[in-house]
Amino acid sequence: MLGWGVKNEGLSPSFLDGPPDLTIANGYDETVLHLGRRNMTGLRRSLVSGAFSAGGILSTSEDVATFVHSLFTGEIVTPSTLAQMETWVEVPDENTPLQVGYGLGVRRLAVGGEEVVGHTGAIPGYAGIAMHSEDKGYTIVILSNLSTIEDTRVLADLQDVVLRMIEATEHQLS
């Protein structure tokens, strides 16, 4: 994302290891560490270094949406690479019951009758879900400073709004 983002104007700075004075939202954890609701700010340095194995990128939801949309519309990888990424296997995940397939670094979810592709993730203090509908062309990204959110429920609620907007636009055009 970093290398690709540098080449694409209009994106905010995204960081792998942000400058020391970079202000980010305080993270809160309720269940990942089983300590009750805790402000994770004091542990940020160790949490950020641990997150590097999961990407460790600091970015905005808008820029993540731009990246995810570009990835799944063929602007970043070749069609054959995307096809390999989307070679789905059935891998049930008790934390993501809407998952209907897993590819190379990407999930396929069935949300409200729509299939979306992307990824989810959480570390103590932060969580995110980034999904794209290849059928309808929309991308939804949710980033949270609470490590345990009902990400697929929030996604479903936002997806309902987006689908109503798409339907209203199609109705106006017909």
DSSP string across 140-167: EEEEESBS---HHHHHHHHHHHHHHHHH
With a cut of 80, say whether residue 95 has pLDDT above it. yes
Position 51 scores a pLDDT of: 55
Report the range of poorest mean pLDDT among 5-19, 28-42, 147-161.
Answer: 5-19
Q: How do the domains of the chain map onto residue ranges? A: 2-173
Spatial separation of the C-alpha atoms in residues 69 and 41, rounded to whole Å: 31
| Predicted pLDDT of residue 11 | 66
Range with the poorest average pLDDT among 16-20, 30-34, 109-113: 16-20
**Residue 89: half-sphere exposure toward Cβ, Cα within 13 Å:** 6
Write down the pLDDT at residue 27. 76
Q: What is the pLDDT of residue 10?
A: 60
**Range 133-146 average pLDDT:** 93
Q: Which uninterrupted H or E stretch holds 67?
A: helix 61-72
Q: For position 39, what pLDDT does the model report?
A: 73
CB atoms within 10 A of CB 57: 18
> How much is the pLDDT for 157?
96
How far apart, in whole angstroms, are the C-alpha atoms of residue 146 and residue 37?
9
Provide the pLDDT for residue 150: 87
Would you identify the CATH topology of the domain 2-173? Beta-lactamase (3.40.710)
Q: What per-residue confidence (pLDDT) applies to 7? A: 53
Burial class (CB in 10 A: 0-12, 13-18, 19+), 97: exposed
Q: How confident is the model at residue 139 (pLDDT cuts 50, 70, 90)?
A: very high
pLDDT for res 59: 79
Residue 10 backbone phi and psi in degrees, to 5: 95, -10
- Considering the chain, what is the average pLDDT of its residues? 82
Q: Are 141 and 165 in contact (CB under 8 A)?
A: no
Cβ contact 24:14 at 8 Å: no
Could you give the C-alpha distances from 36 to 10, 25, 44, 82, 109, in angstroms and in order? 40, 19, 17, 40, 29
Distance (Å, whole) CA 18 – CA 24? 10
pLDDT, residue 25, reads 72
Say what the pTM is. 0.82
pLDDT score at 41 = 67
